Amino acid sequence: MIGRDNELEVITAAATALAERGCALVVEGEPGIGKTTLLAAAAGWAKCQGFTVLSCAGVQSQAAVGYAGLHELVHPILNSADALPEHQRAALLAALGLAEAGVPNPLLIGVATLGLVEEAAATRPMLLVIDDAQWLDDSTLHVVTFIGRRIANTPVMMLCAARPRIDGESSQLSSLPHLQLDALDIATSRLLMEEALAGVDGHGLSALTQRRVLTEAAGNPLAIAELTKALLAGGEEQRNPPLTPLPTTRRIERAFLEQLHGVPEPSRRMLGLIAAGGDTAMAELADAARHVGLSDADLDPLERCGLITVVAGSLQVRHPLIRSVAYRATPLTQRSAFHHALADATTDAMRAAWHRSAAAYGPDEGVAADLETAAQAAQLRGANAEAARAWRRAAALSPSANDRIRCLVSAIEPAYRAGLTAEAIDILDEAEPLAIDLGHQFDLAFARFTLAVTTGVTAPPVEDLVALADRFGSHGELDTHIRLLAAAAAQCRMHGLDERDRDLIAERLHQVEHLDHPAVEVALATLEDTKYARQFRCRAATLQDALSDDLTALMSMGLAAESASDLATARSCWDGSIKVARRTGAPAIECEALRGSARSQIIAGQLTEAAVSAHNAFRIATDADLGLSMGAAAALLARIQAWQGDTKSAQQSLATAQQNLPSDTPLLWLDDLAWASGLLALTTHDSERAFTELSQMNRDRSSRRWAIADLTEAAVASGHTRVICQLVDEIDTEASALGSPHIVMLVHRSRALIAGTEKHAEHHFHAALDIEDAEAQAPLEYARTQMSYGEWLRRQRRIIDARTQLAAALRVFEHRGAAPWAQRTRGELRAAGVQMPGAASAIDVLTTKLSPQELQIARLAAAGLTNRQIADQIYISHRTVAAHLYKIFPKLGITRRAQLRDAIELDNATPAGE
């Protein structure tokens, strides 16, 4: 290897440090720059050092076959799969087509692969080598990226080679560290040319020609070598390259094309067949060759001129560009014949379907049917991206308009599940103008609604949903009529739509209210919460039982419960949604349900549980490449961190949220962002900014109610008291109608803060603290009310009464880890002449010493779950569970698993993810 010593040293240094930290590195550069050579050198070094080396390479023709690259990579270590947790093992084997299971969750497949790699690396370090990553199938690429993000605690190095993206779009691999391969300098380029000319008889190339080649090659190693070979092979008359420069890749392709001219016609055809087949097995390639009148003998000239090599029955093309050149040089009719022959030769139904698809000139009902079968099989293996593309290709080949729209509709869900939001929207945009059948119109409208509420894309207009609902109602299909109206109601909650939209939906819902349909009750509670809240709370358990198998309806009920100020029901619905989403392999929906759970837990003062839920949502969104969901989860994390006084982390989370939540994001998420920013400003005593941020929470009525006391505190502190009075009056009226002790308490505290030093402030403080169930429903907000009352009392020089309120508030703040308010309360107590001891409670120790994931693992372990059972629940490997417990024990001052229960004081709340 010439000219890449520095890059190889970077790689070997990182690999040498694997005992301390695993790592991933993406070697990026243009075609021919030396990526494959560098990877081969690194693999050779690793083998000499005793590493286990696993490798795979992306192949363009295999990009449609889900998990093809993954199978190649992990096949040598599949004997370690028995050590994996049950659900992870089943998901991985199903993805590789080695077992049957329910629809695997793509994230579970990633975790299983990580666990498999960890098992194999337990006794010796491992190097994973992935070449031409840009051509991996999407499902494998997702797993590779997942592993790259998670191997920090494993003696594993993952080395990928990829071409840079030139389309401006982000790549999954962009989240991993990169090593850029640049052009060689002139001195190294000359060394490489001397190597290419070594042993050449005669005059070789003149000095002028050599300079011309070096100029044309522009430091690209493959260009130097191949242009030199092409000129030498072309004879004296061709040894002066043309004056017109070409892009480097074009120059290399031209050099390869000229090499093809020197081989017999049958061998050129054989190379075209090889290019069409990708990495087809030799036996299948030989069978396909016989179908088109070729034989094994036609491989010999290709091998003699170095275009291919055959090692241990495996055929390898010297460079991927040779494949693309050979394929493009093959006439269309021959390409079609090659794909037909390869389809007949392969035993893999997915490959056969795609080969027949590539051979089709136009609509073909039989090929479309094969692709449908392949798409269904891919979905059963969790290869959602490939399934979506198979459905879409089947649509393009379907002669019937009805079949075409049916296939497009079928493509939307796997695209969405694969995190291909943009592709799912493209499919919707393509399908909607074709949809004449009412059923297809419903499928498309509901798909767009689902995408809107879970990924933040543009929602269907409410008028369109209602108009479509009316059409179903006029045909007597009331269930579908109600589903569409319920979707429109949920959309109002997510997007803060205006009163005209709400009134339109409510009018239609009232027309079917007599049917006593649970979805109608949920939708009315969402739209007209002040009117239906009490009825909803009375009927909540019955409604949830009726909707427990319908994931969309269950999530809609979670939103309705928030609107009705019924946090207990909201949390129950979100927990149920998490379980259903996990069981059905829907990470995007699970992420939204976890965010809903975290939102309710924060409002209820359950900061520890909320941190676990929000952290899990953020982790899933990151692993599934769901940018908007990542931003929404980060906004919730920022609010939790503000409550806990972790200002630095809260600022970082806010930056992440702002980066990932554009202005057209669903308004519910933007309210979460504004609330987090405003609360953080309150804790850092920036009242003006707090008021500015919290004032933006005027889009969602429910969020505005929960935040009213924060907004009032910011308004009073920044001198904007008059502005807030009318809003407090409005929410007072709503709170009375809702019958929510929590919000009534917040209103009374707000009125007390507005009253300031006036005597009637005490009336409102007493009214707030005397509300039945307020302390149980919202312990932190109740403690803040006590703190505010204690501050008021101290300023009235009623020191003894102030101490009572402040001491009670302090106990709650410290117990629940609300550090800024604990610090503020301690300051007030000192001013009242009381010095409080600094010892914190057990739960406070947990929240400060354990991360959210460590706390979740500790709780699950204390509940009696094994490491493998924990791993199956929270998307980590069982070895990662063990590593976390190894760190948790000394933090808690224990030495045995049996001591966990006493150490963490299990409370009545169910840990998120359980």
Each residue's pLDDT tens digit, 486-543:
999 988 888 776 788 999 999 999 999 999 899 999 999 999 998 999 999 999 999 9
Domain-embedded: residue 410: no
Inter-residue contact 565 to 598 (CB < 8 Å): no
Nearest alpha-carbon partner for 600 in 777, 844, 427: 777
Inter-residue contact 862 to 904 (CB < 8 Å): yes
Regarding whether 702 and 802 lie in a shared domain, the answer is yes
Q: What is the mean pLDDT of residues 207-231?
A: 82
Regarding whether 138 and 19 lie in a shared domain, the answer is yes
Residue 693 has pLDDT above 60, yes or no: yes
What angle is formed at CA 178 by the lines to CA 175 and CA 180, rounded to 5 degrees?
145
pLDDT single digits (tens) 429-467: 999 999 988 999 999 998 888 887 777 677 778 899 999
DSSP character string of 643-665: HHT-HHHHHHHHHHHHHH--TTS
Inter-residue contact 388 to 423 (CB < 8 Å): yes
Q: How far apart are CA 326 and CA 767, in angstroms?
A: 83
Quote the radius of gyration of the chain (alpha carbons, Å): 32
pLDDT single digits (tens) 290-331: 999 999 899 999 988 888 887 766 788 888 788 888 888 899
Compare 236 and 884 and report the one with higher pLDDT. Answer: 884
Domain-embedded: residue 636: no
pLDDT single digits (tens) 333-346: 999 999 999 999 99
Regarding whether 455 and 318 lie in a shared domain, the answer is no
Which helix (H) or strand (E) is 111 found in, with range?
A: helix 106-120
Inter-residue contact 632 to 654 (CB < 8 Å): no
Which helix (H) or strand (E) is 130 found in, with range?
A: strand 126-131
Regarding whether 199 and 171 lie in a shared domain, the answer is no
CATH assignment of the domain containing 132: 3.40.50.300
- Other beta carbons within 10 Å of 435: 19
Domain-embedded: residue 611: no
pLDDT at 451: 83
In the 3-class helix/strand/coil scheme, how is 139-152 assigned residue by residue? HHHHHHHHHHHHHH
Inter-residue contact 168 to 95 (CB < 8 Å): no
Q: In this prediction, what percent of the chain has a pLDDT beyond 90?
A: 58
Domain boundary pick from 349, 384, 400: 400
Beta strands at 314-317 and 308-311: parallel, antiparallel or unpaired: antiparallel
pLDDT at 846: 63
Residue 914 has pLDDT above 50, yes or no: no
Compare 226 and 689 and report the one with higher pLDDT. Answer: 689
Residue 237 has pLDDT above 50, yes or no: no
pLDDT single digits (tens) 241-272: 555 555 667 777 777 787 788 889 999 999 99
Residue 200 has pLDDT above 70, yes or no: no
pLDDT at 649: 95
Q: Any residues with CB less than 8 A from the CB of 481 and at least 6 apart, and which?
A: 469, 470, 472, 473, 512
pLDDT single digits (tens) 769-805: 999 889 999 999 999 999 999 999 999 999 999 999 9
Task: Tell me which residue range forms the domain holding 494.
Answer: 437-585
Average pLDDT, the chain: 88
What angle is formed at CA 259 by the lines to CA 255 and CA 263, rounded to 5 degrees?
165
DSSP character string of 516-564: --HHHHHHHHHHSHHHHHHHHHHHHHHHHHHHTT-HHHHHHHHHHHHHT
Minimum mean pLDDT range among 391-400, 564-573, 585-594, 853-862:
585-594
pLDDT single digits (tens) 646-663: 999 999 999 999 999 887
Q: What pTM was estimated for this model as a whole? A: 0.86
Tell the residue number behind the tokens 């200002």, with chain if given: 647
Domain-embedded: residue 352: yes
End-to-end CA distance of the chain: 53
Regarding whether 800 and 688 lie in a shared domain, the answer is yes
Inter-residue contact 518 to 552 (CB < 8 Å): no
Residue 169 has pLDDT above 70, yes or no: no
Q: How far apart are CA 173 and CA 27, in angstroms?
A: 10
Token output for 312: 């241990």
Regarding whether 275 and 231 lie in a shared domain, the answer is no
Domain-embedded: residue 635: no
Domain-embedded: residue 518: yes
Q: How far apart are CA 500 and CA 498, in angstroms?
A: 5
Q: Give residue 179's pLDDT band: very low, low, confident or very high (50, 70, 90).
A: very high
pLDDT at 78: 95
Domain boundary pick from 147, 180, 213: 180
CATH assignment of the domain containing 863: 1.10.10.10
Beta strands at 178-180 and 23-28: parallel, antiparallel or unpaired: parallel
Q: How far apart are CA 312 and CA 681, in angstroms?
A: 67
pLDDT at 234: 60
Domain boundary pick from 821, 840, 859: 840
Domain-embedded: residue 910: no
Inter-residue contact 892 to 858 (CB < 8 Å): yes
Angstrom distances, CA of residue 340 to CA of 283, 372, 582: 16, 18, 40
Regarding whether 888 and 779 lie in a shared domain, the answer is no
Q: How far apart are CA 239 and CA 832, in angstroms?
A: 95
Q: How far apart are CA 730 and CA 747, in angstroms?
A: 10
pLDDT at 485: 94
If DSSP codes are grouped into helix, strand and coil, which group holds residue 247? coil
Q: How far apart are CA 578 and CA 481, in angstroms?
A: 27
If DSSP codes are grouped into helix, strand and coil, which group holds residue 833? coil
Regarding whether 377 and 298 lie in a shared domain, the answer is yes
Domain-embedded: residue 604: no
Regarding whether 685 and 820 lie in a shared domain, the answer is yes
pLDDT single digits (tens) 124-156: 999 999 999 988 999 999 999 999 999 988 999
Residue 61 has pLDDT above 80, yes or no: no
Q: Can you give the length of the chain in residues?
A: 914
Residue 481 has pLDDT above 90, yes or no: yes
Regarding whether 788 and 654 lie in a shared domain, the answer is yes
The structural domain count of the chain equals: 6
Q: Give residue 240's pLDDT band: very low, low, confident or very high (50, 70, 90).
A: low
Angstrom distances, CA of residue 820 to CA of 218, 634, 641, 824, 844: 60, 20, 10, 6, 13
CATH assignment of the domain containing 654: 1.25.40.10
Q: How far apart are CA 100 and CA 94, in angstroms?
A: 5
Query: Taking each helix axis from N to C terminus, what angle separates 779-795 and 741-755, rounded to the nearest 10 degrees?
Result: 20
If DSSP codes are grouped into helix, strand and coil, which group holds residue 56? strand
Compare 452 and 379 and report the one with higher pLDDT. Answer: 379
Token output for 889: 């024990």
Residue 864: is it exposed, middle or buried by C-beta count within 10 angstroms (0-12/13-18/19+)?
Answer: exposed
Residue 910 has pLDDT above 80, yes or no: no
Compare 367 and 846 and report the one with higher pLDDT. Answer: 367
What angle is formed at CA 231 by the lines to CA 225 and CA 233, rounded to 5 degrees?
100
Which helix (H) or strand (E) is 59 found in, with range?
A: none
The DSSP output letter for 206 is -
Cα–chain center distance at 179:
24
Cα–chain center distance at 124:
31
Residue 754 has pLDDT above 60, yes or no: yes
Regarding whether 191 and 125 lie in a shared domain, the answer is no
**Segments of 327-414 assigned E as strands:** none
pLDDT at 908: 37
Per-residue exposure over 77-102, b if at least 16 CB sit within 10 Å of its own CB, e if not: beebbebbbebbbbbbbbbbbeeebe
pLDDT at 255: 76
pLDDT single digits (tens) 419-428: 788 889 999 9
Regarding whether 335 and 483 lie in a shared domain, the answer is no
